[in-house]
Amino acid sequence: MKLKFFGAAREVGRSCILVEGKSTRILLDAGVKVGEEEAEVPTIPNSMLQSIDAVIITHAHLDHCGYLPHLYSNGFNGPVYALKPTLEIANVMVNDYLKLSNPRDVNKDWQKKMQRKEKTVEYHQEFRVKDLALKLVPAGHILGSSMVEVRLGNERILYTGDINLKTTRLLEPAYTEYLKADTLITESTYGGDKDTWPPEKDVLSGLMKSIKTTLDNEGKVIVPSFAVGRAQEVLFILDDYMRSGTIPKVPIFVDGMIGKVNRIYRHNVIFCKDELQKRILMSEDDPFKSSNFVMIEGKADRSKVLKHQGAAIIVTTSGMLKGGPVIKYLERMGSDSLNKLLLVGYQAVGTPGRELQDGAKEITLDGKKIKMGIKVETFHLSAHADRPQLLRLAGRIQGLKNIFIVHGEERKMMELAAALGKHYKVTVPVLDAEYTT
């Protein structure tokens, strides 16, 4: 098979990989890289789009699905395959992206076309696109997230999408039984030499201690979060520790798209881990509806939170402080050293979140310079595999010979390549170049 990388080559964002069989062309993911100005999009030429037979979406983060409506407006006419929750969440995400970014070549009609072309697939069920056989298996990253196996005769490629090999509050880990592939295309977000997560219990006890200190001093704790995945994990963790009395009972305000995504998670709970399904189905105890959460719907609710006296926790979008309600909260609460900002997800280079993580005392939000007196702390609750997990995954794949490393910062990719290169032929692909498996 032939491969071409139209994005996520030596970068995180705009994932889009062309796989060619003998007579078939498919795309694995169609993402955008949302920046300050217009989003960066994959480099696939529009003239090629009519020849693409199908698109497979691994999961509903915009860096994997945001380019879908553009594909249709620029000439693609084929189906888009993904798990049911992926398609549902992708529609919410794409809708929000179109509203915020207002790209020139796309309008609502193209999103409607995309919806008409959606085809739901199940985990572990092989389906065909002409001469290619495809199978999606759980990736453990967010609801519906998948790895994709592409087979042409006896030759197999496995693409991780974004992957997590550890169980979380909501999801089972990635499926790593009976994996077989000649070629692996792996993400490498945390593939660097120093990217080894400390034990989760240590992270959580540090996190709770930190939250407790701020709440005891009547401060506010702001947790910026991706609407999908991170937010649900964070809310479940906070709810658990509040119920057990580890942290004081204060309102947990939930703002941004998180509420909408929670509802999709809840009605797709069949895709969450068994333990959570049992908890909801066999008792009245539904953590999605915990009385500790106060859902913020619109500006009126938000202005009440902005005036809220005393301790509180605010979980809100966006995860890297590039827009979303978190900006409003930081404008009001960011200068006060009683308050705390907790970074719990990936912070891309060039985002205000990353600047704060690196120690900046002043950042530009929404075009305004804001002095940051607020305490900033980072806790690794990432939904991505760390380096040992990425190495372990490769080791579990039967017959593996070639590895392509995508979706990472270049330095980390090279560090991961050095380790994997001892056992496999490793390529860190460049944009638009063609490779043969």
Q: Which residues bind Zn ion (CB under 5 A)?
A: 61, 63, 162
Q: Using CA atoms in the order 189, 192, 194, 195, what is the torsion angle rounded to 10 degrees?
A: 30
CA distance 62 to 90: 8
Q: How far is the CB of 162 from Zn ion (least distance, A)?
A: 4
Half-sphere exposure of 50 (CA within 13 A, CB side): 2
Closest distance between Zn ion and the C-beta of residue 279, in Å? 25
Count Cβ neighbours within 10 Å for each residue of 299-337 and write b for 16 or more, e otherwise: eeebeebeebeebbbbbbbbbbbbbbbbbbbbebbbeee
- Give every strand in the sheet of 340-343, ordered side by side: 293-295, 252-255, 312-316, 220-224, 340-343, 375-378
Distance in angstroms (rounded) separating the CA atoms of residues 155 and 326: 47
144 or 352: whose CB is closer to Zn ion? 144
| Least Å from the CB of residue 90 to Zn ion | 12
Closer residue to Zn ion (CB): 214 or 382 = 382
Whole-number minimum distance, CB 346 to Zn ion, in Å?
8
Which C-beta is closer to Zn ion: that of 9 or that of 314?
9
Q: Which is nearer to Zn ion, 118 or 162 (CB)?
A: 162
- Provide the 10 A C-beta neighbour count for residue 102: 10
In angstroms, the CA 392 to CA 413 distance is: 16
Query: Looking at beta carbons only, is 70 or 230 nearer to Zn ion?
Result: 230
Q: For residues 63 and 255, which CB has a smaller minimum distance to Zn ion in the complex?
A: 63
Q: Least distance in Å: CB of 409 to Zn ion? A: 13
Of residues 63 and 239, the one with the C-beta less far from Zn ion: 63
Residue 9 or 211: the one with the smaller Cβ distance to Zn ion is 9
Quote the tokens at residue 386.
């760390």
Least distance to Zn ion, CB of residue 12, Å? 6
- When the beta carbons of 59 and 220 are compared against Zn ion, the nearer one is 59
Side by side, the strands of the sheet bearing 132-138 are 127-129, 132-138, 146-152, 155-159, 183-186, 402-405, 425-427
**Partners of 151 in the β-ladder:** 133, 156
**Rounded distance between C-alpha atoms, residue 399 and residue 81, angstroms:** 27
C-alpha 110, offset from chain centre: 23
CA–CA separation, 256 vs 38, rounded Å?
21
The CB-of-386 to Zn ion minimum distance in angstroms stands at 15
**Cβ closest to Zn ion, residue 328 vs residue 407:** 407
Answer for the pair 26, 157: CB distance below 8 angstroms, yes or no. Answer: no
Helix-, strand-, coil-residue percentages of the chain, each rounded to 5: 35, 20, 45
Nearest distance from residue 15's CB to Zn ion, in Å? Answer: 6
Cα 13 from Cα 118, distance rounded (Å): 23
DSSP reduced 3-state for 97: helix
